[in-house]
């Protein structure tokens, strides 16, 4: 009888011990969701941008949504401060060190400092900008290729699909938030009557400092550049579609500006006379 008991115990240990070894590994694997994988893939290519803007020269984006929160942010430094620190984000789109960000992050600034996720810091130079699209290209130089996150395809976005925002809200580098595509094709009109077309609307949390950072889909593709929030509302943010950015990136890198076609036609309103 005693031998039978001992044998039963040995069999039980042999059966259940392997399960004890594999369950933690299985649980760990279950935690590695598509969001985690996307962040691991793209995170190293997201940068923190810090600059200083002279208050005398400070101008705000023609986008009233951007204008409101940036004005409030800078005014906290007080009227006697000659400079105001601007914070933003960017994404490295080429291993040579080309960074895509928002134009309003780097407009009329002094030296621009770029910090990578591994804490390496570089001084960046502005290669080109396009205020009408609120996009700019920066360049940093290093002794080896940089991690990249090339722009993806934003033409087939699904309303309700999961999206991921990575950036530096309020200077908190490498912050990750998630949400969904709330709408596409949004049009925003500025106080200066400048119109921004085809924005992506998302409820992923976007705050000052997120501007210029990437908006990803669940596959880790860069589908947008986070740009603005809607006043004091909760969960209403906007991103420039990746395809809109791709249309001008090459011009910004090569020429420093966007070269639009010229039709040689002047438009004027008609009247009865």
Which residues carry out catalysis?
104, 134, 211
Where helices occur in the chain by DSSP H, the ranges are: 2-31, 34-42, 64-75, 103-106, 242-255
pLDDT at 22: 62
CB neighbours (10 Å) of residue 43? 18
Q: How far is CA 203 from the centre of its chain?
A: 14
pLDDT tens string 62-114: 455 555 544 554 454 444 454 557 789 999 999 999 999 999 899 877 899 99
pLDDT tens string 210-254: 999 999 999 999 999 999 888 777 899 999 999 999 999 999 999
Q: How confident is the model at residue 157 (pLDDT cuts 50, 70, 90)?
A: very high
Q: How confident is the model at residue 5 (pLDDT cuts 50, 70, 90)?
A: very low
The CA–CA distances, whole Å, from 10 to 7, 19, 27, 69, 110 equal 5, 15, 27, 68, 73
Tell whether the torsion through CA atoms of 150, 151, 156 and 158 is positive or negative.
positive
Q: How far is CA 225 from the centre of its chain?
A: 5
pLDDT at 151: 96
Listed as own residue / partner, the contacts of 142-148 with beta carbons closer than 8 Å and 24 or more positions apart are: 142/97, 145/95, 145/96, 146/45, 146/92, 146/94, 146/95, 146/96, 146/97, 146/116, 147/44, 147/45, 147/92, 147/95, 147/116, 148/45, 148/92, 148/93, 148/94, 148/95
CB 74 within 8 A of CB 98: no
pTM of the predicted protein model? 0.77
To the nearest 10°, the Cα dihedral for 257, 57, 46, 226? -80
pLDDT at 57: 41
Integer-rounded Cα Rg, in Å, for the chain is 24
**Residue of higher predicted confidence among 17 and 50:** 50
Which of 72, 47, 85, 65 has the alpha carbon at shortest distance from 212?
47
Phi/psi of residue 213, nearest 5 degrees: -80, 165
Mean predicted lDDT score pLDDT of the chain? 83
Q: Would you say residue 138 has pLDDT above 70?
A: yes
Tell whether the torsion through CA atoms of 253, 242, 230 and 180 is positive or negative.
negative
Q: pLDDT above 90 covers what percent of the chain? A: 60
What does 87-100 look like in DSSP terms, one character per residue?
Answer: EEEEEEEETTTEEE
The domains of the chain, with CATH numbers, are 37-259 (2.40.10.120)
pLDDT at 195: 79
Q: Would you say residue 143 has pLDDT above 60?
A: yes
The CA–CA distances, whole Å, from 223 to 78, 111, 113, 137, 199 equal 37, 29, 25, 17, 11
Q: How confident is the model at residue 55 (pLDDT cuts 50, 70, 90)?
A: low
What does 59-82 look like in DSSP terms, one character per residue?
Answer: ---S-HHHHHHHHHHHHTT-TT-S
pLDDT tens string 176-223: 999 999 999 999 865 556 678 899 999 999 999 999 999 999 999 999
């Amino acid at each position: 009888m005693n031998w039978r008991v001992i044998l039963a115990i040995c069999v039980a240990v042999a059966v259940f011990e392997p399960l004890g070894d594999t369950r933690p590994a299985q649980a760990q694997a279950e935690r590695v969701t598509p969001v985690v994988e996307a962040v691991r893939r793209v995170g190293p290519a997201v940068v923190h941008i810090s600059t200083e803007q002279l208050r005398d020269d400070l101008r705000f984006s023609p986008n009233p949504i951007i204008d409101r929160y940036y004005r409030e942010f800078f005014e906290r430094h007080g009227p006697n401060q000659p400079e105001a620190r601007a914070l933003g984000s960017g994404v490295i789109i080429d291993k040579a060190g080309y960074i895509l960000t928002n134009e309003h992050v780097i407009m009329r600034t002094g030296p621009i400092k770029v910090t990578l996720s591994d804490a390496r810091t570089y001084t960046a130079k502005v290669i080109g900008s396009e205020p009408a699209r609120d996009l700019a290209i920066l360049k940093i130089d290093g002794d080896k290729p940089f991690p990249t996150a090339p722009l993806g395809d934003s033409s087939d976005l699904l309303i309700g699909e999961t999206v991921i925002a990575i950036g530096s809200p309020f200077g908190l580098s490498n912050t990750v938030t998630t949400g969904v595509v709330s709408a596409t094709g949004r049009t925003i009109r500025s106080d200066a009557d400048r119109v921004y077309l085809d924005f992506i609307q998302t409820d992923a949390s976007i705050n000052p400092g997120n501007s210029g950072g990437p908006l990803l889909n669940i596959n880790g593709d860069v589908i947008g550049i986070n740009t603005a929030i809607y006043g004091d509302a909760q969960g209403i943010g906007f991103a420039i579609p990746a395809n809109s950015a791709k249309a001008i990136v090459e011009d910004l890198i090569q020429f420093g500006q966007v070269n639009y076609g010229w039709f040689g036609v002047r438009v004027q309103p008609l009247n009865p006379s």
